[in-house]
Structure 1
Amino acid sequence: MAELSERRSQCRRISSDGAEDFDRISQLPDSLLCHILSYLPTKTAVLTSILSNRWRRLWTFLADLDLDDEMPSFKRHDDHFQREEVSQSFSQFVYAVLLQNQTEPIKRFRLKCIYPSCNEFNINAWVNAVTRRNVERFELYIPCSKYIALPRSLFNCSTLVVLKLNKLYLNSLESFSIHLPMLKVLHLGDDVFIRCHDSILKLLSGCPNLEVLALESLHNLMCGGWMCESNNFEISFPHLREAKFRFYWIDRCHRSLFKIFKALFDVRCLTISLPTSKCLEYASISDIPVFNNLIQLEITLGLYTRNLLANLLKNSHRLEVLIVHKSRNEKTQATRV
């Protein structure tokens, strides 16, 4: 009661007509205010600390951290020295947030960084900090010009449920083991550059409980290393509900795609892009599993991929929805059956 009375006294104010009024939002419990702040970018949430003593430390209890150097306060500058200043400012801000916010577990950590401050040293420090605090959802957007070797702590985080990587040069993963027992959603999104598609096999082999898998716009920069020669990773998706493949596999890595595809026998919704369907056209009938639970299939076909559709339908006994995109001369038509 004493705490509530103190809070009300802090929130009391005088309105324009001289009558007493209350800041009713500030009277809400800390948990509810933190829930409201969690919908804001972290930079904006931190700015609320200037409102009053009541708000000064609230942001330090946030379990959702959204850090983006493209926000207005960190906006891009043409001048080199201004860019360096903004870059350092953002880097210092991220370190300050992680130092002062000690909430555990971290429900969501999203980092988008386009400036040089997102070098490998800083990224590893930030990733290690959030994995030590049992992060559950991790999203990374780092458009850069060199490979980033993400730390092993990210790929061995026992609490991670959602992992989304975008605009990233991802170093090969052969130097450490991968174990993500709680991971349910894996999304390798726009323009993720990898050294070899077999790196994806190793990543997937460490995710036994995936429910949603999306592999989009992957680019292969280097193939033919030792990982391509081994290819001994066991892939199993007993809980997979949804899978999306929207990228091209080079010829020497077709077998990696076939191995992943054969593990999809329990998937319910499957999306296959034109580049992926072109690769699957080389698959033998033994490489296409019997889909026990496939209900929806969405596929883009070219002039020479019609046999693939026939083979898929032959092995999809419970199919209810079929969406076919016919691609000709870079024009796509959709047909829903």
Structure 2
Amino acid sequence: MSLVSPRYLHLWKDLQAFDFYFDRSIPFEKASLFVNSVLSLRKSRDIQKFHLTLTFDRYKSFDIKKFQAKCVEIWILAAIGPHLQELILSISSYCIKLPPSFFINCTNLVSLRFSGAIDMLVQDYSVHFPSLKKLSLGADIVCTPQIHYFSFSLAAPTSKLCRFTFTLTLNTYL
């Protein structure tokens, strides 16, 4: 049963903004089927906003974690392109490795937020974001040794303000 009238059911295929949120209560297999079907059935290839928040069980086998990481990489690659303006990735429970080359075509990226277990692979070149106005990196990313070698080239002639936000989260265990 659908809450959307059949007359408007096809409209989701033309969306350019996606916000996926999955936590431990949803099995990864269900989440991956849903995201894969949404991204593969859409008509417009020009995604403007892509938000992905994942929290999964950290006590999985290495093969399952590797499969999950590969799925996330594929979803990010599907979203990345010259029309992407906002990218928010919040991944916990397992580490996703993203090469800077993923972001070469993101010339219109205005807002970029990474939090959780995301590892930027160090390479010999910097990533150029000419339109970037807001950059937010979580404490897990800022505190890794690789961040010191990874340079963000922020030559943004049109922007007057660029924010660097470092969010620190304190976990208390009773």
Contact 1:105 / 1:136 at 8 angstroms: preserved in 2? no
Give 1:212 deviation, angstroms.
2.6
Q: 1:155 to 1:215 in 2, by over 3 A?
A: farther
Contact 2:82 / 2:105 at 8 angstroms: preserved in 1? no
Q: Give the AA of the match of 1:213.
A: R
- 1:97, 1:113 → 2: CA distance? 16
In percent, how many aligned pairs have the same letter?
Answer: 22
Q: 1:169 to 1:195 in 2, by over 3 A?
A: farther
Instruction: Pick one of 125, 135, 139 that aligns with 2:88.
Output: 139
Q: 1:145 to 1:214 in 2, by over 3 A?
A: same
- 1:176, 1:144 → 2: CA distance? 29
Give 1:132 deviation, angstroms.
3.1
Contact 1:181 / 1:207 at 8 angstroms: preserved in 2? yes
- 2:149, 2:67 → 1: CA distance? 23
Gaps of 5+ in 1: 1-46, 77-82, 219-245, 247-337
Q: 1:195 to 1:111 in 2, by over 3 A?
A: same
- 2:19, 2:99 → 1: CA distance? 19
- CA offsets, 1:246-286, max 9 Å, x none? 9xxxxxxxxxxxxxxxxxxxxxxxxxxxxxxxxxxxxxxxx
Are positions 1:161 and 2:110 aligned together?
Answer: yes
Contact 1:61 / 1:102 at 8 angstroms: preserved in 2? yes
Contact 1:172 / 1:199 at 8 angstroms: preserved in 2? no
> Normalising by structure 2, what TM-score?
0.74
User: Which structure is higher in RCO with an 8 Å CA cutoff and minimum separation 6?
Assistant: 2
Q: Give 1:92's aligned residue.
A: 33
Contact 2:54 / 2:90 at 8 angstroms: preserved in 1? yes
- 1:122, 1:114 → 2: CA distance? 14
Contact 1:107 / 1:135 at 8 angstroms: preserved in 2? yes
> Normalising by structure 1, what TM-score?
0.41
Gaps of 5+ in 2: 57-64, 170-174
- 1:144, 1:165 → 2: CA distance? 14
Q: Give 2:154's aligned residue.
A: 207
Q: Tell me how large the CA RMSD over aligned residues is.
A: 2.9
Give 1:159 deviation, angstroms.
1.9
Give 1:147 deviation, angstroms.
5.3
Q: How does 1:66-105 map to 2 (within 5 A)?
A: 66-70=19-23, 76=25, 86-105=27-46
Q: Give 1:286's aligned residue.
A: none
- 2:124, 2:69 → 1: CA distance? 16
Give 1:99 deviation, angstroms.
0.9
Q: Give the AA of the match of 1:105.
A: D
Q: Give the AA of the match of 2:49.
A: R
Give 1:127 deviation, angstroms.
1.3
Give 1:103 deviation, angstroms.
2.6
Contact 1:91 / 1:117 at 8 angstroms: preserved in 2? no
Q: Secondary structure at the match of 2:36?
A: helix
Are positions 1:128 and 2:128 aligned together?
Answer: no
Q: Give 2:53's aligned residue.
A: 112
Q: 1:216 to 1:185 in 2, by over 3 A?
A: same
Q: Give the AA of the match of 2:77.
A: N
- CA offsets, 1:218-238, max 9 Å, x none? 7xxxxxxxxxxxxxxxxxxxx
Q: 1:198 to 1:123 in 2, by over 3 A?
A: same
